[in-house]
Amino acid sequence: MSTNNQMSELLSAWEETYKKGQLTLWVFLSLKDGKKCVDEIKSFVEEQSNQTMTCKSQSLYRNLRKCQHVGIVDFETGEGNKGPERKYYFLTELGLELLNSFIERNINLFFSKQIKNLILSED
């Protein structure tokens, strides 16, 4: 196996594992941006992640149902563009607090000077 091939396979394997835990963060970020229906959440996630994250509507519905059940997401119904009523999801107060705490503890680390330098350095 060539070094390039091995590199590519290792990268895919790492990304696959890494992305599994990322969907919730992307969904919550899309809801922090404003109320959205599932199709809009899907578009937001795919566009904002430069297509590195993809998600099926069915998985999104399932995730949102679980989040709604535990009280971090809720929805209100509104008219869709083409006819039937749609569910527009939003973060509850608890959900927003949860997202902010998560970002503070797990994402803001990447903005520290030392880590930022390490990420940006070529060596």
Partner 1 sequence: MKTITKNLLAFSIGLIALTIAFRFSLSTMLQNRLFGSVWIVATIYGILIFIIGWIFGKKEKMNLPLYDIGFRFHLATYIICNLIAEIWHLIGLQSEYENVRILHLTVIYWGIGLLIHFIIYLVTRKNAIKGIEKSEIFE
Query: What is the distance between the alpha carbons of residues 40 and 37, in angstroms, rounded to a whole number?
Result: 5
CB of 117 to partner 1, least distance (A): 31
CB of 51 to partner 1, least distance (A): 22
Query: What is the distance between the alpha carbons of residues 60 and 72, in angstroms, rounded to a whole number?
Result: 15
Q: Which long-range contacts link 41-49 to residues 24+ away (Cβ below 8 Å)?
A: 41/89
Binding site for partner 1 (CB under 8 A): 21, 24, 62-63, 65-67, 69-71
In the complex with partner 1, the residue whose CB is nearer, 28 or 44, is 28
Largest CA distance in the chain: 55
In the complex with partner 1, the residue whose CB is nearer, 11 or 70, is 70
CB of 38 to partner 1, least distance (A): 15
Do the Cβ atoms of 77 and 86 come closer than 8 Å? yes
